Amino acid sequence: MRFRYAMVCSSNQNRSMEAHALLKRQGLDVASYGTGSHVKLPGPSLREPNVYDFGTPYKQMFDELRRKDPELYKRNGILQMIKRNLSVKLAPQRWQDNAGDGVFDVVMTFEEKVFDSVLEDLNNREQSLTKTILVMNLEVKDNHEEAAIGGRLALELCQEIEGNETWEDTIDDIVAGFEKQHRRKLVYSISFY
């Protein structure tokens, strides 16, 4: 493995965790995060989401939702999603609190506002290492089907990056090839640690 990857969505539940699970299974060095103020999961209605603090163990969420309404959360795929998350790591983590996790080479986000939050956070950090970091956004709707597609695309993109000695020299060609093949727009920026 040449590079260290971070997958980031809003709540560190669906899109980032799907990609995290796939990259981890393929042996890539990967972590995942959310950028929201809280972890939000669908509830019985749009006005009644289930809200948790980052760091709340996935097992606790799973048990609580299974007690509340097992049929609803099984039918909407939330219990299965959390079960997957349990196999990957203990609890959702917040990007803005990850400085102690070390540096990443590539950060993949799945929503424009998350991309903006990651860049803002990186720009506000002390940049003492002058190490480059590639931040990319692949727009993915926050549902189970799109997360599965987005996870596979993120894996393919990271494997393409991994196959190069340095991403700095090849990123334009990688992005152009990806966009042409998948007809999906990628946005990227370079930041520093």
User: Are the C-beta atoms of residues 1 and 27 closer than 8 Å to each other?
Assistant: yes
Same domain membership, residue 166 and residue 130: yes
Same domain membership, residue 19 and residue 66: no
Domain boundary among 49, 67, 88: 88
Residue 104: alpha-carbon gap to chain centroid: 13
Same domain membership, residue 76 and residue 62: yes
Same domain membership, residue 28 and residue 46: no
d(CA 113, CA 4): 22
Same domain membership, residue 181 and residue 112: yes
User: Are the C-beta atoms of residues 140 and 5 closer than 8 Å to each other?
Assistant: no
Same domain membership, residue 81 and residue 173: no
Same domain membership, residue 178 and residue 123: yes
Residue 130 has pLDDT above 90, yes or no: no
Residue 142 banded pLDDT, cuts 50, 70, 90: very high
Same domain membership, residue 188 and residue 99: yes
- pLDDT at 58 (0 to 100): 98
Same domain membership, residue 46 and residue 28: no
Chain length of the chain = 193
How far is the CA of 140 from the CAs of 38, 68, 145, 149, 167, in angstroms?
20, 29, 10, 8, 23
Residue 129 banded pLDDT, cuts 50, 70, 90: confident
d(CA 125, CA 167): 23
Residue 154 has pLDDT above 80, yes or no: yes
Residue with tokens 């990850």: 98
d(CA 166, CA 169): 6
Same domain membership, residue 63 and residue 18: no
Tokens of 20: 């995290």
Same domain membership, residue 146 and residue 53: no
Q: CATH code at 161?
A: 3.40.50.2300
**Tally of domains within the chain:** 2
Tokens of 69: 């309404």
pLDDT digits (tens, 9 = 90+) for 61-74: 999 999 999 999 99
Same domain membership, residue 180 and residue 124: yes
User: Are the C-beta atoms of residues 96 and 171 closer than 8 Å to each other?
Assistant: no
pLDDT digits (tens, 9 = 90+) for 7-41: 999 999 999 999 999 999 999 999 999 999 999 99
- Give me the domain span that covers residue 59: 39-88
Indicate the pTM of the whole model.
0.96
